[in-house]
Amino acid sequence: MKSIKQILNSSEYNKQISVNGWVRTKRMSKNVAFITLNDGSTINNIQIVVDADKIDFAILDKIHTGAALKITGELIKSQGKNQNVEISASKIHIYGEANPDEYPLQPKKHSLEFLREIAHLRFRTNLFGAITRIRHAMIFAVHDYFNKNGFYNIHTPIITGSDAEGAGEMFRVTTLPPKDAPVTEDGNTDFSKDFFGKETNLTVSGQLEAELAALALSKVYTFGPTFRAENSNTSRHLAEFWMIEPEIAFADINDDMNLAEGLLKYCVKYALDNCNDDLQFLTKRLINEEKNKPQNERSELNLIEKLEFILKNNFERLTYTEAIDILKNSKQNKKKKFKFPINEWGADLQSEHERYLVEKHFKKPVILTDYPKEIKAFYMKQNDDGKTVRAMDILFPGIGEIVGGSQREENYDKLYSRIKELNIPEKDMWWYLETRKFGTVPHAGFGLGFERLMLFVTGMTNIRDVIPFPRTPKNSEF
């Protein structure tokens, strides 16, 4: 059977066809009724014309928003101005009814908060249909980009025995009973009795394993779920999110920045080229939302224009030190408008600072490099100044940090001493260190938060709305 998307694009008039879908609206008059049907293949509905001469109107009493139907009928050129084709029904089959007194989704505007509470049904709204289709397109674009550029996809483990990265708090994985877990002589939980014979957690990143593969296959990427147990209830953080992590051998931080900029632009272009109907819908939605805002708070560019803007401009590249100077001397800082004032070199940047640089100062995406080593991970390549590392973060308008990456420390002695300085247990790191003993090469990589990319492409503002089933503190329903 053809999808509604296919039917809307076809011109096989006056032929019998069948179509499946869920009712979005029903309008009745005396002798004719109109049903709009959607099957999720496109944001557009197909209009079904129900004529009292052909169909017993009694069936219409059972058809309401949300019901699932199979319609058989003739495809005809539409007289209406909203669609090109419609179906004149000769037969209606009801798969499943939806009682209008109980069905929570009615053809009116629902708040995003309400829709989060009914995440099992929110796929059926225009908004979440559009987001879900774009999410699929972005997953595909990511794989397409790497495949076209000679990368190999690898699956890195989800359960990990090391907490070396320090990217965030971890979720423990255990089969020990919560009560009466075995204890060692000194009273701690005895993980040698646990499933893996040691403490294990859900991974915060696939990077360390991706590096192992890159040091043989040269260009690899992993695209998997990652888990962070931070108790941060922000609109940019999830406890379970998807991350794209490429790793390239024989490469430095400039290659890394070029790769990341290339990937982001490819994904945005892919969305513009392949998700036009959904992007048009999201753009109109945002324009409507902004009508409630005062004129000076409305954005200059609409969603589609913002996406086009990204393609046309190079990302601004500067060092952390240069950024700190800009921030320190900004009016915002002098007037004490930052929640975290910038007083000295070495401060970690908060999202208010990142957004100032991107949205107010440069008005385009920014790549910051060479951060103080104290605020970055142990594996980043140390600069000769002894103070900074070859980190690079990409900051996006409306989002803040979208990519975090670096050139990696490939020198065994330097890496080893950093591990010692930070008291990282060597027993967790022996395999990682060995790659620096045997055929080590300059290499680099980054992590792109997939849901942050989704926020940017859809113009949504809460990360809970760009993943089907968000996991956040106190929230694991569905």
Residue 280: phi and psi, rounded to 5, are -60, -45
Measured from the CB atom, the residue of 1 and 375 that comes closer to ligand 4AD is 375
Give the residue, chosen from 449, 457, 467, 470, that forms a contact with ligand 4AD under the rule CB under 6 A: 449
| Cβ pair 203, 158 in contact under 8 A | yes
User: Considering Cα of 179, then 183, then 187, then 189, what sign does the dihedral take?
Assistant: negative
Q: Name which of Mg ion, ligand 4AD, none residue 449 binds, using a CB cut-off of 5 to 8 Å depending on partner kind.
A: ligand 4AD
For residue 470, the partner it binds in Mg ion, ligand 4AD, none, with Cβ less than 5 to 8 A by kind, is none
Q: Is 205 in the site for ligand 4AD (CB under 6 A)?
A: yes
Does 38 interact with ligand 4AD (rule: CB under 6 A)? Answer: no
Size of the site for ligand 4AD (CB under 6 A): 21
Give the ranges where 93-181 is alpha helix by DSSP (H): 112-117, 126-148
Binds 228, which of Mg ion, ligand 4AD, none (CB < 5 to 8 A, cut-off by type)? ligand 4AD
Does 371 contact ligand 4AD by CB under 6 A? no
Provide the token pair at 130: 């559009």
**CB half-sphere exposure, 203, CA atoms < 13 A:** 19
User: Should residue 39 be labelled a site residue for ligand 4AD when binding is judged by CB under 6 A?
Assistant: no
List the one residue from 116, 228, 390, 464 that touches ligand 4AD (CB under 6 A): 228
CA 227 to chain centre: 14
Q: Which is nearer to ligand 4AD, 21 or 445 (CB)?
A: 445
CB of 439 to ligand 4AD, least distance (A): 21
Residue 403 beta carbon to Mg ion: minimum distance, rounded to whole angstroms: 8
Nearer to ligand 4AD, 75 or 271 (CB): 271
Candidates 87, 402, 455, 467: give the one binding ligand 4AD (CB under 6 A): 402
CB 37 within 8 A of CB 4: yes
User: Considering the complex, what minimum distance in angstroms separates the CB of residue 472 from ligand 4AD?
Assistant: 9
Q: What does each C-alpha distance from 164 to 26, 71, 200, 419 come to in angstroms?
A: 58, 58, 12, 9
405 binds ligand 4AD (CB under 6 A): yes
If the CB atoms of residues 124 and 236 are measured against Mg ion, the closer one turns out to be: 236
Position 353 contacts ligand 4AD (CB under 6 A): no
Chain CA centroid to CA 282, Å = 16
Q: What is the spatial distance between Cα 393 and Cα 405, in angstroms, rounded to a whole number?
A: 6
The only residue of 43, 69, 130, 167 in contact with ligand 4AD, by rule CB under 6 A:
167
243 binds ligand 4AD (CB under 6 A): yes
Burial class (CB in 10 A: 0-12, 13-18, 19+), 275: buried
Q: How far apart are CA 36 and CA 281, in angstroms?
A: 17
**Under 8 Å between Cβ of 80 and 53:** no
Q: Closest approach of Cβ 401 to Mg ion, in Å?
A: 6
Least Cα distance to 447 among 288, 259, 266, 313 occurs for: 259
467 binds, options ligand 4AD, Mg ion, none, Cβ within 5 to 8 A by partner type: none
Partner that binds at residue 266, options Mg ion, ligand 4AD, none, CB closer than 5 to 8 Å by kind: none
Q: Is 238 in the site for ligand 4AD (CB under 6 A)?
A: yes
User: Residue 310 is encoded by which pair of tokens?
Assistant: 């990204």
Q: Which of 389, 403, 419, 454 binds ligand 4AD (CB under 6 A)?
A: 403
Structure tokens that stand for 264 in this block: 């982001």
Bridge-based pairing state of the strands 240-249 and 32-38: unpaired
The CA–CA distances, whole Å, from 108 to 57, 125, 130 equal 25, 10, 17
- The contact set with ligand 4AD (CB under 6 A) reads 165, 167, 205, 207, 228, 237-238, 241, 243, 245, 401-405, 445-447, 449, 451-452
